[in-house]
């Protein structure tokens, strides 16, 4: 299983003369490394014991940290679970971004991204079940598609009453489809059918939808993480 990527460091406050505070930089890097260590351990623990079978001591032991250190980062298993789900989601978004980086047309980027997301959900049930309960507000999993939808709206490729309505349609369809994939195994075309309906709901014309759906899906240039 690939190691979780370290979260980006926030901008530091400059000291006298515009120099960065060295202690601040070192402290934030150390905190980022410890957070990554805990989340990496959590991925293994959740994979081994499930979402309900793990206790705090399992994560402390797996990460090799003190109990106080764990609580400095995560007040509860619920908070750790949310952070782990978010990390997996954001990690997949980055893999998708890398794979569609050569696509300039915004609605094509968006459509291929949806197809890649649904293919991942269909091919990795453990990942699908783990992340499907995550609320995506404020995460790259919502921000990147929103960027492409805004560009498509400016290019008059879609017709929606509001951006909020558009994103509710996208996230609602994806999330419910993932639940169905877990409880009622679907055919190989189900993910593509969801992508088609989402594009239709956004007002994309039939010719463009057909072109997006005919486009061969790229393989991931950067393999996303999983909990297996």
Per-residue pLDDT of the chain (228 residues; tens, 9 = 90+): 555 555 544 444 455 555 557 777 777 888 888 998 999 888 888 878 877 788 999 999 999 999 999 999 999 998 998 888 888 888 999 999 999 999 999 999 999 999 999 999 998 888 888 877 666 555 666 788 889 999 999 999 999 999 999 999 998 899 889 888 888 877 778 999 999 999 999 999 999 999 999 999 999 998 888 776
Ramachandran category for residue 197: left, alpha or beta (phi over 0 → left; psi -120 to 50 → alpha):
alpha
DSSP-derived 3-state class of residue 14: strand
Which pLDDT belongs to residue 98? 95
Residues 6+ positions from 130 with CB-CB distance below 8 Å: 46, 51, 84, 85, 88, 227
Specify the pLDDT at position 51: 74
What pLDDT is attached to residue 99?
A: 95
Give me the domains of the chain, ranges plus CATH numbers: 1-75 (1.10.10.60), 87-228 (1.10.357.10)
């Amino acid at each position: 299983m690939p190691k979780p990527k370290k979260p980006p460091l926030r901008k530091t406050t400059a000291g006298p003369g515009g120099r960065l505070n060295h202690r601040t930089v070192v402290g934030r890097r150390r905190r980022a490394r410890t957070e990554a260590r805990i989340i990496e351990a959590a991925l293994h623990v959740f994979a081994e014991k499930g979402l309900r079978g793990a206790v705090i001591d399992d994560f402390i032991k797996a990460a090799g940290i003190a109990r106080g250190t764990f609580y400095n980062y995560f007040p509860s298993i619920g908070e750790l679970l949310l952070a782990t789900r978010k990390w997996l989601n954001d990690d997949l978004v980055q893999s998708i971004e890398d794979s569609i980086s050569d696509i300039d047309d915004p609605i094509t980027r968006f459509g291929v991204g949806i197809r890649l997301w649904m293919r991942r959900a269909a091919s990795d049930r453990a990942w699908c079940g783990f992340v499907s309960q995550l609320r995506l507000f404020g995460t790259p999993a919502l921000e990147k598609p929103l960027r492409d939808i805004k560009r498509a709206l400016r290019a008059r490729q879609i017709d929606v009453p509001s951006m909020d309505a558009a994103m509710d349609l996208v996230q609602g369809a994806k999330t419910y489809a993932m639940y169905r994939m877990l409880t009622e195994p679907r055919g190989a075309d189900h993910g593509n059918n969801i992508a088609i309906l989402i594009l239709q709901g956004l007002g994309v014309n039939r010719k463009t939808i057909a072109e997006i759906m005919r486009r061969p899906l790229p393989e991931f240039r950067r393999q996303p993480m999983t909990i297996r």
